[in-house]
Amino acid sequence: MTSPFLIGIDIWILLICNGRRFGVSYIHTKVLLFRRLSVSGALWHHCYTILSMLVIENLKKQWGTQVLFEDAEMSIYPGERVGLVGPNGAGKTTLFRMIQGVEHPDGGSVHVDDWAIVGTLSQESQCRLGVTVREEMQSAFPEIDEAQASIEALSNSLDGESGDTKTLLQLSQAQTALEMQESHTIEARIGKVLKGLGFENDAMDRLTDEFSGGWQMRIAMAKILLREPDLLLLDEPTNHLDSAAVKWLLKYLEDYHGAVFVISHEPKFINAVCERIIDVDRGQLVSYTGNYHHFVRQKAENIENQQAAYERQQRELERQQEFINRFGAKATKASQVKSREKMIEKMELIEAPIKKKRDIIFQFPEVTKSALDVLRLKNVSKTYEGRQVLKNINLKLKRGDRIALLGPNGAGKSTLLRLFAGIEAPDEGGQRDEGRNVLIGYFAQHQAEALDQNRTVLEEVLYGLENQPEKEARGLLGKLLIRGDEVFKQIKVLSGGERSRVALAKFLMQPANTLLLDEPTNHLDPASREVLQQAVAGFEGTVLMVSHDLPFITATAQEAYRLEDGVLIEEREMLITAADGSPQKNKRK
């Protein structure tokens, strides 16, 4: 039996010193206490509740007329791996912002342990501009700068070789704090994380401004991972990562000492990372033990059980009401009627489960077919500030082609799409040819960011369309669950998920016979992704896409090219589906 004295010592370490003063991490200190209490179930439960890193109680939050949370509750404990799921617009990112303290609840409380460090990767870039990658990474360690500044100031304050005892003690503490930060390993730690996220060796001394938005998001992720917060909040972390970087991140999180709370529309990612799922369901935060696959099964079973219980209760209510209606006027049955009426009044009614929303089926507007030869790049290269991104590209698109561009981030895939779209011009000597009757629909990687913040949803979807087909636009938005007066909301008040749906609706309303898609499924929830996938799969024109979404590629593309270091591998490769559902290459000979 663990003695109260030992328990008291551990609690003292936790509450008074909290580990950090002795260089012990938050999670390790709390695990020490858990071990001491492992033999006492009741005491374990009591302390486990007390020691939760994040506690949300009776949370209320409303956005306009939409109720996001109503008396919602949840907790996260040290070292947990928790996934947050729910439809776009349900309030997932808002919940993260309340945990950060950026937004405040309308009621209830969101309490983060005072000693816990919280780090957040949001969907918007958090990367500073005008500094090198090295400087941005080093800013992840403010304690080192503070310790070094203290050492310098205390050293200067010493009188010759001697000094007062207090100053010497403070100097010793500052030097110990610097040692505990293992400052001599910082360069190696920075290099390891940057390499894992796909950066080249020369990236450290390049300005952050030189990188694209997707790579700036990786810089922000690297900085947060280096910070090693006690509670790591990740909002769609895989949106800008290729398969190699996702694989590295999964391994990193597997060994991560802190708690991880992640929002992701990638079922495979959240399934691999999380051991508990919290579902944002009708204003509540419903917890499911197990990974994402277990959550899907359990929720389906819960809905089925609730439906069965609801139907049983309705049958019983009908039976009792039938008796009341039949014998209500008979004096001999008055007591029985009264008894059944009281029983109905006291009965706790079972709520009917929400029926699954009908499938959303999109169809691109009909347009004239393009010429047989659609687009062609001939001897095309592209250079940015002395760095050659594409090298002597020759590629022709014919009507009906459905091609995926594969390759690691930074290989030049997005640049190639912009050249095909005519948004950028090739270097001197390169040539772009466009066939007759070609109507290009270009979906940029950050399509939602290009929306006009001051327009309403309906105005933005209709903008640029000649006939202003309001009825069709409202119908399409309704299928994307933007209904009624919601179409008159300004873009700037929408959540990230809602903006993604507006961007998708705007894209689908544009007449096109040639689609150029740059990571089109980024930021889309599973339902919207399925809608886009069906629409592209049924599209009768020409498709050229860049995507890391392997199921999407398999369902919508027929052939693939590979870009590596700006060089196009011109041998066409048929896409076939492997046993795990990923596209495999079957080279034509």
Q: Is the same domain home to 117 and 41?
A: no
**Cα(77)–Cα(209) distance, integer angstroms:** 38
**Cα(414)–Cα(424) distance, integer angstroms:** 11
Q: Residue 290: which of 300, 298, 281, 302 has the closest Cα?
A: 298
Residue 357 lies in a domain: no
Q: Is the same domain home to 377 and 485?
A: yes
pLDDT single digits (tens) 27-85: 444 444 443 444 444 444 445 445 788 999 999 998 777 889 999 999 999 999 999 99
**Cα(46)–Cα(52) distance, integer angstroms:** 10
Q: Is the same domain home to 379 and 464?
A: yes
Cα dihedral 490, 492, 498, 502, rounded to 10, equals: 60
Q: Is 22 helix (H, G, I), strand (E, B) or coil?
A: helix
Residue 226 lies in a domain: yes
Counting Cα atoms < 13 Å in the Cβ hemisphere of 413 gives 28
Q: Is the same domain home to 413 and 455?
A: yes
Q: Is the same domain home to 253 and 157?
A: yes
State the amino acid at position 516 in one-letter form: L
DSSP run (H or E) holding 474:
helix 470-479
Q: Is the same domain home to 107 and 240?
A: yes
pLDDT single digits (tens) 312-344: 999 999 998 988 888 877 888 888 888 888 888
Task: Count up the domains in the chain and report the number.
Answer: 4
Q: Is 584 helix (H, G, I), strand (E, B) or coil?
A: strand
List phi, psi (to 5°) of 305.
Answer: -65, -40
- Assess contact for 502 and 466: CB atoms under 8 A: no
**Cα(311)–Cα(544) distance, integer angstroms:** 50
Q: Is the same domain home to 204 and 300?
A: no
Residue 536 lies in a domain: yes
State the amino acid at position 579 in one-letter form: A
Residue 365 lies in a domain: no
Non-local CB neighbours of 19 within 8 Å, separated by 6+ positions: 13, 25, 26, 28, 29
List phi, psi (to 5°) of 214.
Answer: -65, -40
The pLDDT, as a whole number, for residue 586 is 46
The pLDDT, as a whole number, for residue 183 is 61
Q: Is the same domain home to 329 and 391?
A: no
Structural domain of 257: 81-291
DSSP structural state of residue 331: G
DSSP labels, 102-170: SS--SEEEEEE-TT--EEEE-SS----SSSBHHHHHHTT-HHHHHHHHHHHHHHHHSBTTB--HHHHHH
- Which stretches of the chain score pLDDT less than 50? 1-7, 9-46, 48-49, 571, 573, 576-583, 585-589
The pLDDT, as a whole number, for residue 145 is 62
Residue 435 lies in a domain: yes
Burial 334-369 (b: 16+ CB within 10 A, else e): eeebeebeeeeeeeeeeeeeeeeeeebebebeebee
DSSP structural state of residue 450: G
**Cα(371)–Cα(93) distance, integer angstroms:** 45
Non-local CB neighbours of 150 within 8 Å, separated by 6+ positions: 170, 171, 174, 177
**Cα(91)–Cα(582) distance, integer angstroms:** 32
The pLDDT, as a whole number, for residue 44 is 43
Residue 72 lies in a domain: no
Q: Is the same domain home to 377 and 444?
A: yes
pLDDT single digits (tens) 144-203: 666 666 666 666 676 555 557 776 676 666 666 655 565 667 888 888 999 998 888 888
Q: Give the strand pairing for 514-518 and 440-443.
A: parallel
The pLDDT, as a whole number, for residue 23 is 36
Q: Is the same domain home to 414 and 543?
A: yes
Residue 354 lies in a domain: no
Residue 229 lies in a domain: yes
State the amino acid at position 17 in one-letter form: C
The pLDDT, as a whole number, for residue 178 is 59
Confirm whether pTM is higher than 0.75.
no
Q: What is the CATH number of the domain that holds 514?
A: 3.40.50.300
Q: Is the same domain home to 301 and 282?
A: no
Q: Is the same domain home to 301 and 279?
A: no
DSSP structural state of residue 206: S
